[in-house]
Amino acid sequence: MGVVNVTPDSFSDGGQWFEPDAAVAHGLQLLADGADLLDVGGESTRPGAARVSTEDELARVLPVVSALAARGAVVSVDTTRAVVAERAVAAGARVVNDVSGGLADPDMARVVADAGVVYVAMHWRGHATEMDALAAYTDVVRDVRDELAARLDALVAAGVALEQVVLDPGLGFAKPGADNWPLLAHLDVLGALGRPVLVGASRKRFLGHLLAGPSGEPVPPLARDAATAAVTTLCAAAGAWCVRVHDVRSSADAVRVVARWDEDVRGSRTGRREPLPGGPQDDQPTDGSVSVAEGRRP
């Protein structure tokens, strides 16, 4: 999943793709680099970010969603607002990526259920202005699993089909740096909930702190892509369905390495070699749809 930020203030690349034409061109480049999905967002969710109006969010995302969908892209809309999700789906989006998991807008479940689109429900405890104050866990893996399980139950009870839902542990959202690593190390615990898992580690603070130099100053977001690709490698090996990344090429290459490694391991166990996949999109349905039913790897 390639990130298309149509915002002036995203933590990683705010402003670079703010104009619709620039955002569309960037999305098309991400597709050329190997993205299977394009995630278009018009509101920054970086820690401390202020909310934008619904009207501004719609004005930012709808032209980009429509243009990319018209070019054949599988488009995801990154929003917590039901009206934005509904309008974006009407404009061609086929995935709704909601960092609040439906908690920010009680009407989101209805919109997703009616549309029948893939719905990414992330672990979330509060908006960007308050999430750092909500980062208290007894056991972060168990707590996130339990809270996502409760979200899954609530979504299904509200009419969302189980087969529509993808779960996201919400790395960096109300989670101090050290709390992100156990979640990555135990993706199988989230997978045990029976739904595919999406991981969004790209360029996040905990990677910046990991790579800090002797001064302790975190490296800037654009210097975190190699670390992001390493996380992608481990997520692919762990069976994640998708990774959400800014630099698609390095992560697409990482997935190819894991696919080749897996093929060789299986070949050595069975005494035969199977044809190698040509790229990360090979596990997607041939009709261009986005299936989450089997929890495919990226």
Would you call 145 a catalytic residue per the annotation? Answer: no
Would you call 204 a catalytic residue per the annotation? Answer: yes
For 179, the token pair is: 């709390």
Which residue of the set 94, 175, 195, 244 is catalytic?
Answer: 244
- Residue 134 CB-density burial (10 A; 0-12 exposed, 13-18 middle, 19+ buried): middle
Q: Counting every residue, how long is the chain?
A: 298
Which residue of the set 87, 125, 203, 204 is catalytic?
Answer: 204
* Rounded Cα distance, 240 and 295, in Å: 8
Contact 140, 188 (CB under 8 A): no
Q: Which residues carry out catalysis?
A: 204, 244
